[in-house]
Amino acid sequence: MEQNTRPDSLASIVEEFESGRMSLGASNDELVRKLQISDFALEKDLGEGAYAFVKQGRYRWEEEAKPVVIKMMIKSKLQTESILHDFDTGLSLPIELYALRHLREHPHPNIVSMIDAFEDPQYYYILMPMHGRGEDLFEYIEKHGDFISPEKVARIFSQVVMAIAHLHRTLGLVHRDIKDENIIIDENDRILLIDFGSCAYYRGGMPLTEADVRRGKRLPYFDVFHGSIDYASPEVLRNEPYDGPQQDVWALGVLLYTLTFKEVPFRSTSDVLEGRLRLPFESDLEISAMIKAILSPDPTSRPTAEVLAEHPWIVKNYEAAMN
């Protein structure tokens, strides 16, 4: 292998991307070099979904390379609605790649970032930094159980709220798969929202192009649900067209309940549809009030993520979490 076709370190990859010398979808002639999956030593599996694998790996050409996360998206299994066509460039790529590129322009400390993206005939690859030990919130809850204090719950939850508010307000993007398994937490209880495989720009029945998104063309309603059924809102369970941001907020309520009580809030679909919300024991008054407000069966009565982000309880706990 010619040594001059590979940078000495991943730091130089990031520098090239950020300086504009390389970009997603550029031709080979435009790139300083092109990554290949063979450039990485794959160390262990981190997760697997319907159309993607997630691996931990290290860059082969860097001594004492830090571990990175590599998402491998199987091209043949990607659904049509998960592809966004950009008429300006002629490219058709997964919405997740566009969203992560968009997040490079509008980053948030509690949302995963993308180092690079590349492809081969079988896969799209997304290269991301490792966050802590890679432990997700589901594992964290299982490990700590009843030892998660209301103060810690509040600090964790406030970070997720701020991340979702950033997506809705700044990018016009809905995540659509908010759950404990898609939140990574480090040893300092800093969280990172991951997995944008189900994300979408606010739209109606027809996919938006990236040019549409740049022009601010957004329609909020969706008719296909993406995500875990435990996090599905009443309107989704009634098979109604649903407002993407309102579904994200409902999922936030399920997450807060799960963090607080270590179980999901509803035992059956009928409980969700009839609004039978039970709090198994007395908890922090602020947390209980927040759960009840968010898990309103009427989507128009739920606070938006932007409103939640400005709530004094959220602001106070977010500042405590990030300082």
Residues with catalytic roles: 177
Residue 165: what residue type? A
d(CA 108, CA 95): 19
| 262 annotated ligand binder | no
The pair of three-digit structure tokens given for residue 186, joined into one six-digit string: 């480090």
- Alpha carbons 16 and 284: distance in angstroms, whole number: 48
What amino acid occupies position 56?
Q
Q: Determine the longest span between alpha carbons in the chain, in angstroms.
A: 65
Give the integer Cα–Cα distance in Å for 39 and 70: 12
For tokens 């993406």, the residue is 226
Residue 117 contacts residue 100 (beta carbons within 8 Å): yes
Round to whole Å and give the CA distance between 215 and 115: 26
Sequence-separated (6 or more) residues with CB below 8 Å from residue 310: none
The SS3 assignment for 55 reads strand
Q: Which residue has the tokens 């950033």?
A: 166
Cβ pair 200, 210 in contact under 8 A: no
Whole-number Å distance between alpha carbons of 212 and 216: 6
Cα distances (angstroms) measured from residue 104 to each of 62, 93, 113, 114, 311: 24, 17, 7, 7, 27
As a whole number of angstroms, the distance between CA 221 and CA 235 comes to 11
Spatial distance between the Cα atoms of 102 and 5, rounded to a whole number of angstroms: 28
d(CA 162, CA 319): 11
Q: Which residues are annotated as a binding site?
A: 71
Q: Which residues are annotated as a binding site for ATP?
A: 71
